[in-house]
């Protein structure tokens, strides 16, 4: 069956992908953009999302391969179409005739000017289909300057290139197990990994709550906290709840807070699906105090999320780094407040899914300066490579780690202990 005719599934997914890319160019997040494809069948919607993600991971490469064949910059909708077909052919290795025919059909359907461009689209994409060698020589897409600069400063150019290669490769599907018989390769830190593109809904054990989706790096924050049965623990920025589930599964008495009521509803759903419980509070963590001091606090603070670019390649396109100073200020306030909630000897795990030292290493240094009695304990857990620890003892996780296993999200995780008595 020809899947490229208008109305056929392949075409629906491509048209959906083009709509997603346009919405993201206008500043939408992927989650906001997917709402625009609700009328598509679940499989077309999933493919549209996948195609849009693959294009965003390689836009610069696609433009570099297309450039020699273009006499002038095409209008934006035609440019998106050319990028999509280029990525389909050269990155996803789809049959050139299918990708080119689909692009020409879609172009003709764009009306007057699109129709006029269809001949050019056809000619350019036929040349692009023979440009595999040029494509293969191109480096992975660079991070934007506002993000690349501090990353190069922190870890150097080679690590930065390796992070960019990991961004292009995308992310596998990681599960945190609760019950037995959880699918996937067992990673050294205990997460289970399934290949990129695995359909979550098709996996056994979802309805019975035997596991939840959580990147292997994200799962380490709670493993570093090492919650014990019966401990009173607050998860101050809890939604959508992966870490709350881990704390509750360990038998801790958990209070899960989030400032967003709608996001907190997802924590409730996840707890229910997994047969776990926690006390849920919607509100500002800075204004919340428990009845009695706590054994431990998990602070998975709001941040730039630059550690999650593998799964959110739209972030470099829709962010410019201008929000980082305010986020860093909020993180510092949240650390101070979290410490005030602990009993003497209590522990705090501070985590951010960020690649920026401003939201990690520098936060820890500043917190130690503000709180002379505070101790840093090695942020370790079973399966953690000691090479991932910073000189201060925090865990610095980056997308280029575990390259042979498929990488991990970028995370900073520090384990702090409040002194038993002020000295």
Ligand X SMILES: C[S@@+](CC[C@H](N)C(=O)[O-])C[C@H]1O[C@@H](n2cnc3c(N)ncnc32)[C@H](O)[C@@H]1O
Is 48 flagged in the annotation as binding? no
Is 241 flagged in the annotation as binding? yes
DSSP SS3 for 414: strand
Query: Can you state the percent helix, strand and coil of the chain, rounding each to 5?
Result: 50, 15, 40
Q: Does 238 bind ligand X (CB under 6 A)?
A: yes
CA 327 to CA 305: how far, in whole Å?
A: 11
Is 300 flagged in the annotation as binding? yes
Q: Does 243 bind ligand X (CB under 6 A)?
A: yes
Residues across the chain: 423
Can you name the residues that pair with 254 across neighbouring β-strands?
233
Among 55, 81, 85, 237, binds ligand X (CB under 6 A): 237
Minimum distance from residue 73 beta carbon to ligand X (Å):
38
Please report, as residue ranges, which positions from 297 to 326 form the binding site for ligand X (by CB under 6 A): 300, 302
Residue 32's Cβ-side half-sphere holds a number of Cα atoms within 13 Å equal to 12
Minimum distance from residue 204 beta carbon to ligand X (Å):
23
Is 107 one of the annotated active-site residues of the chain? no
Measured from the CB atom, the residue of 88 and 174 that comes closer to ligand X is 174
Among 16, 209, 227, 241, binds ligand X (CB under 6 A): 241
CA 22 to CA 410: how far, in whole Å?
A: 27
Of the listed pieces 65-73, 96-104, 179-187, 251-259, which binds ligand X according to CB under 6 A?
251-259
Can you name the residues that pair with 305 across neighbouring β-strands?
none
Please check whether residue 125 is in contact with residue 65, taking contact to mean a CB–CB distance below 8 angstroms: no
Active-site annotation holder among 107, 274, 303, 353: 353
What stretches of 129-241 show up as alpha helix (H) in DSSP? 132-137, 145-169, 220-225
What 8-state DSSP symbol labels residue 35? Answer: G
Among 210, 258, 314, 361, binds ligand X (CB under 6 A): 258
Of the listed pieces 15-23, 196-204, 278-286, 313-321, which binds ligand X according to CB under 6 A?
278-286
Q: Which helix (H) or strand (E) holds 21?
A: helix 9-25
CA 370 to CA 338: how far, in whole Å?
A: 13
Among 186, 286, 326, 420, binds ligand X (CB under 6 A): 286
Please check whether residue 163 is in contact with residue 400, taking contact to mean a CB–CB distance below 8 angstroms: yes
Is 258 flagged in the annotation as binding? yes
Is 179 flagged in the annotation as binding? no
Minimum distance from residue 298 beta carbon to ligand X (Å):
7
Non-local (6+) Cβ contacts of 49 within 8 A are 16, 17, 20, 30, 34, 37
Phi, psi of 240 (to 5 degrees): -85, -5
Residue nearest to ligand X (CB): 237
Among 99, 107, 187, 257, binds ligand X (CB under 6 A): 257
Minimum distance from residue 51 beta carbon to ligand X (Å):
27
With vertex at residue 271, the alpha carbon angle to CA 270 and CA 272, rounded to the nearest 5 degrees, is 90
Number of neighbours of residue 174 by Cβ within 10 angstroms: 25
Please check whether residue 342 is in contact with residue 294, taking contact to mean a CB–CB distance below 8 angstroms: yes
DSSP SS3 for 373: coil
Measured from the CB atom, the residue of 91 and 259 that comes closer to ligand X is 259
Is 284 flagged in the annotation as binding? yes
Q: How far is CA 238 from CA 244, 272, 355, in A?
A: 6, 15, 20
Measured from the CB atom, the residue of 79 and 270 that comes closer to ligand X is 270
Please check whether residue 167 is in contact with residue 57, taking contact to mean a CB–CB distance below 8 angstroms: yes
Minimum distance from residue 286 beta carbon to ligand X (Å):
5
Among 115, 208, 260, 277, binds ligand X (CB under 6 A): 260
Of the listed pieces 15-23, 223-231, 253-261, 368-376, which binds ligand X according to CB under 6 A?
253-261
Of the listed pieces 8-16, 176-184, 281-289, 399-407, which binds ligand X according to CB under 6 A?
281-289
Among 107, 128, 259, 394, binds ligand X (CB under 6 A): 259
Q: Does 242 bind ligand X (CB under 6 A)?
A: yes
Structure tokens at 151: 């990353």
Size of the site for ligand X (CB under 6 A): 18
Is 60 flagged in the annotation as binding? no
Q: Does 285 bind ligand X (CB under 6 A)?
A: yes
Q: Does 263 bind ligand X (CB under 6 A)?
A: yes
Could you list the residues known to form a binding site for S-adenosyl-L-methionine, using ranges: 237-243, 258, 284, 300
- The residues annotated with a catalytic role in the active site are 353
Could you list the residues known to form a binding site, using ranges: 237-243, 258, 284, 300
Binding interface with ligand X (CB under 6 A): 236-243, 257-260, 263, 284-286, 300, 302
């Amino acid at each position: 069956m020809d899947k490229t005719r208008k109305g056929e599934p392949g075409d629906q997914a491509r048209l959906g992908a083009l709509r997603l890319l346009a919405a993201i160019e206008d500043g939408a997040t992927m989650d906001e953009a997917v709402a625009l494809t609700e009328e598509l069948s679940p499989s077309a919607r999933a493919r549209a999302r996948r195609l849009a993600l693959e294009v965003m991971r390689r836009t610069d490469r696609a433009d570099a391969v297309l450039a020699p064949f273009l006499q002038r910059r095409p209008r934006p909708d035609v440019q998106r179409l050319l990028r999509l077909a280029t990525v389909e052919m050269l990155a996803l290795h789809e049959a050139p005739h299918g990708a080119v025919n689909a692009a020409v059909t879609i172009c003709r359907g764009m009306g007057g000017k699109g129709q006029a461009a269809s001949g050019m689209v056809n000619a350019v994409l036929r040349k692009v289909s023979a440009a595999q060698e040029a494509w293969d020589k191109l480096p992975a897409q660079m991070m934007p300057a506002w993000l690349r600069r501090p990353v190069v400063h922190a870890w150097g150019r080679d690590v930065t290139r390796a992070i960019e290669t990991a961004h292009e490769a995308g992310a596998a599907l990681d599960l945190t197990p609760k019950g037995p018989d959880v699918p996937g390769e067992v990673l050294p830190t205990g997460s289970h990994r399934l290949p990129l593109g695995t359909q979550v809904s098709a996996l056994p054990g979802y309805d019975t709550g035997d596991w939840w989706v959580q990147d292997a790096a994200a799962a380490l924050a709670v493993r570093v906290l090492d919650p014990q049965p019966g401990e009173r623990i607050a998860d101050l920025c809890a939604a959508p709840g992966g870490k709350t589930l881990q704390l509750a599964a360990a038998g801790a008495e958990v209070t899960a807070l989030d400032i967003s009521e709608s996001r907190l509803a997802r924590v409730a759903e996840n707890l229910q699906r997994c047969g776990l419980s926690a006390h849920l509070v919607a509100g500002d963590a800075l204004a919340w105090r428990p009845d009695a001091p706590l054994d431990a606090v998990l602070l998975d603070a709001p941040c730039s999320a630059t550690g999650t670019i593998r799964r959110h390649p739209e972030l470099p396109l829709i962010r410019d780094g201008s929000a980082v100073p305010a986020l860093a200020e909020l993180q510092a306030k949240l650390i101070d407040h979290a410490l005030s909630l602990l009993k003497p000897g209590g522990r705090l795990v501070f985590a951010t899914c960020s690649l920026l030292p401003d939201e990690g290493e520098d936060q820890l240094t500043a917190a130690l300066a503000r709180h002379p009695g505070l101790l840093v304990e090695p942020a370790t857990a079973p399966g953690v490579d000691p090479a991932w620890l910073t000189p201060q003892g925090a865990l610095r996780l980056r997308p280029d780690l575990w390259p042979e296993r498929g990488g991990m999200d970028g995370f900073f995780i520090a384990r702090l202990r409040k002194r038993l008595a002020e000295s």
